Amino acid sequence: MSGFLDSMAASSRERANAAIAAEPLAALQARCRDLPPPPALARRGGFDLIAELKLRSPALGELGSARDDLAGRVTTYARAGAAAVSVLTEPSRFDGSLAQLRDAAAVLAPLGVPAMRKDFLVDPYQLCEARAAGAGGALVIVRMLSRAALGEMLDCARELGLFVLVEAFDEEDIAVAADVVAATGGHPTAGSDSGRRAGRGPPERASLACGAKRSRASAAGDPADERRPEAGPVDGRPAQVDTTRPAASGDVLLGVNSRDLQTLEVVPERLEQLAPKLPRAFPRVAESGLTTPEDAARMVRAGYDMALVGGALMSSADPGALVRAMLAAGRAAAS
């Protein structure tokens, strides 16, 4: 991993451990079981947008404040046609919180749009946290997890009824994601050989229920090997999570992040270069650096079905108009 992801993984692990100490897994799962199902991903076809709520970015600086009308912002996103609203919950570099996710999910639920937890997740417990906060989806980063840990996260998300945006940064990440998604119940298109091109054997699939085995993020190294140790059950017993709704056919999205992990600068050409490597059986998501309707159309022409847009919306004087314009441009390019 990069130094940035190293630091994010370490702080995420500390947050997870502190949360587990405050509320054991079994208690958190009981809260999840009592919740109504979250809204499904609100895709309308052709081209869709995940609009993002984030108050700060290491690359862009301050983008908002907790004193702002965050409920009004996510409502604007939803009414403009966003398929989901991504909410940053990382506190140290992005000024996020689970409280923001909880508030956003409560506002979005009556509008039929899911909230998605965006963070540097390293433990299935954190997916349970997302579901307990009302989220309908979560982001996981391939490079932060071993194959077994990624498979466990996907299994856990399916049990919880969450959709997952699986984020890749390069062709190697895509190969790992394609293999693991296929092994956990996905069905990439016939003939996809991304995993074989990378020279890897079959992925290892976690066999325990959600949260029963805690995965650990590595401090450094290649994401393909199984170097990350795994601990036993969080509270000494296997987890039992009731599925709140059947897994939808679109419960896994595969995304490419165009941001360089060392410099945090956007590398726009990465999106076009990697689009052909993504399995076509899953919605493909372009992430980072999209700011205009023309960018949305360009991504559709490159082969993407969706885009995640954050900084441009947070900086816009009329984020609803920008969402509508990007959707219109993307759908026009797709028609």
Q: What is the DSSP letter of 118?
A: E
Q: What pLDDT does 224 receive?
A: 37
What single DSSP character describes residue 257? E
Residue 294 has a pLDDT of: 98
| Top mean-pLDDT range of 2-16, 162-176, 210-224, 262-276 | 162-176
Provide the 3-class DSSP secondary structure of residue 95: coil
Tens of pLDDT, residues 123-156: 999 999 999 999 999 999 999 999 999 999 999 9
Q: Which of 120, 152, 112 is nearest to 138 (CA)?
A: 120
* Mean pLDDT score, 255-276: 91
pLDDT of 250 above 80: no
E-only strand ranges, the chain: 48-53, 56-57, 61-62, 84-88, 115-118, 137-141, 163-168, 252-257, 284-287, 306-309
Model-wide pTM > 0.85: no
Q: Work out the average pLDDT over 284-288.
A: 96
Q: What is the mean pLDDT of residues 269-293?
A: 95
pLDDT for 111-125, tens place per residue?
A: 999 999 999 999 999
Evaluate whether 152 touches 103 at the Cβ level (below 8 Å). Answer: no
How large a percentage of the chain has pLDDT more than 90?
A: 69
Say what the pLDDT of residue 58 is: 76
Domains in the chain, CATH or no CATH each = 3-334 (3.20.20.70)
How far apart are alpha carbons 231 and 7 in whole angstroms? 21
CA-CA-CA-CA torsion sign (290, 93, 9, 135): negative
Q: Considering the chain, what is the average pLDDT of its residues?
A: 82
Which tokens is 175 given? 């190969």
